[in-house]
Amino acid sequence: MLLATGDEFAGYRIQRLLGSDGTGEVYLAQDPRLPRFDALKILPAHLATDISYRQRFEREADLAATLSHPHIVAVHDRGEERGRLWISMDFVDGTDAARLLRESGPIPVPAVLDIVDAVADALDYAHERGLLHRDVKPANILLSTPQHGPRRILLSDFGVARRADEVSGLTSTNSVSYVSPEQLTGQQVDRRSDQYSLALTAYELLCGTKPFDGSNAATVIAQQLNAAPPRIGGVRPDLAAADPVFTRALAKHPDGRFATCGEFAVALRSSLTGTAPAPVVTGAPAAAPMAPPATVPPTFGYAEPAGLAPPYPPFPTSPTVAGYPHPVGSAPPYPAPTPMKRSRSGVVGIAVPAILAVLLAVAITFAVAVPGRSGPAPAAAEPDWEPYVAAAKTVAEAIYTSDYRTVDQDYQRILDITTGPLHDDFKEHADVVIDGTRSLEGVSSATAVGAGLEKLGTDRADVIVAVKVQTGRASWRDPFPDVERLRLTIERVGDEYKASRMQEVR
């Protein structure tokens, strides 16, 4: 339902459409009682018939209306009209961070730090009052047009409740680009989920690109759950000092992250400017850092970008936001990301059927197992390494090859050449992956372009394989890097050689 200028809705007179997305349409509207203009958000019709959603919407909208913070868009009213739930908020005359990125590219560091400080203050303030945001992203960060004083930074969309098991618009890549792993897997969320989303947002504002990106939602979901966060220093070498901050803030498990958004903001500013000490960690202790992977042969390395793009466009920065004080203290070492809880062989368990259907449709592409244990010591008579390398190349090609027209045979091929925990995981998810591949009409093929022996033992070897993947459907154009690298553990089973574990190599 789109409203035209002059239409009335819940007593509000519509002036114009400000924007729309999967969560509804937002209009500039004349307040029915006061001489002012509000932002009127009208939610999709189906939400009004969802009893649990209605109850949560009313509860969270009422709680949001009690928030009074310089960086939170104030909520004025809420209700239902013509079968649609609605909520009215302050109208902020200006732009949002997503539009600014589209128009100008990466935002200068001082401005990003001001934005992160302001949004972190707003989130911590709301968290202390029992309200989570659940949708922190550049489009929800409003930047006022400076008129009488500095530009204001405000976080919008508080009070627009989201179901605990909801990921808005799984078919939209943008919708899942800022969602935490625990949201994607239907687990309970807390303030650290908003901190994760804020870190994703900060990365994009600084680099102009999302940390996890792809041509379809399934690709992004798989990266969110399985892929290590990319180093910001790899995109912008001048920001390499912030690598450990983002590594921690984007940990897969909440316990590995900062306890509050403010702690992340202080650590980020400290890493990039050295003007503020890092915070004392008050949350649950993070897991111990993961051991670094074994050295990969040089032929499988990659080169970091040699330099930066031309100077970043100017952005009128506001003075540093005073906001609310953050805890300060000496900075502890930042731990490596803590992996999500995994099934017996390490593939991430997924609790939400709706996400399983999308994610596992390309699970073959992104199945990532925990690093295999070290193989036994080499025997006195050195085993023949060639069958292990040949088997690894065969397995890698099979895992990345899929055709919705022959998916049953393709998948059976994978089961035939795997063993142990890797075989069990593929077998466990067979029905979902096969059905998902058919529904997405997925087509891909792979060629092993290189392979090297990393470790050789008795009846067991670790092999690094480089695979070039090609896809045959336009909407699947970019789900893979040009060359995918895998570490495969190959075991001798009788007269056959099969893969028991797999790890993505970056």
Which pLDDT score, from 0 to 100, does residue 383 have?
56
Q: Looking up tokens 């553990």, which residue turns up? A: 489
For the chain, give the mean pLDDT: 74
pLDDT at position 373 over 60? no
Percentage of residues of the chain with pLDDT beyond 90: 35
Q: What is the mean pLDDT of residues 140-169?
A: 71
pLDDT at position 333 over 80? no
Which pLDDT score, from 0 to 100, does residue 190 have?
92
Which pLDDT score, from 0 to 100, does residue 60 have?
77
Q: Is 135 a catalytic residue?
A: yes
Which pLDDT score, from 0 to 100, does residue 218 have?
73
Global pTM value: 0.55
Which pLDDT score, from 0 to 100, does residue 201 have?
97
8 Å CB contact between 426 and 339: no
Q: What is the mean pLDDT of residues 70-74?
A: 92
CA 390/CA 448 separation, integer angstroms = 10
8 Å CB contact between 128 and 138: no
Sequence-separated contacts (24+) of 235-242 with Cβ below 8 Å = 235/207, 235/209, 235/305, 236/106, 236/206, 236/207, 236/308, 237/304, 237/305, 237/307, 237/308, 238/308, 239/109, 239/206, 239/272, 241/271, 241/272, 242/206, 242/268, 242/271, 242/272
Which pLDDT score, from 0 to 100, does residue 148 have?
65
pLDDT tens, 256-299? Answer: 999 999 999 999 999 999 865 444 333 333 333 333 333 322 22
The domains found in the chain, sorted by start residue, are 8-90 (3.30.200.20), 94-287 (1.10.510.10), 367-504 (3.10.450.100)
More confident of the two residues 27 and 456: 27
**Catalytic-labelled residue, pool 96, 121, 135, 462:** 135
pLDDT at position 195 over 70? yes
Q: What is the mean pLDDT of residues 61-78?
A: 87
Percentage of residues of the chain with pLDDT beyond 70: 71
Q: What is the CA radius of gyration of the chain?
A: 25
pLDDT at position 404 over 60? yes
8 Å CB contact between 444 and 394: no
More confident of the two residues 296 and 99: 99
pLDDT at position 189 over 50? yes
Residue 414 CA to chain centroid, in angstroms?
A: 29
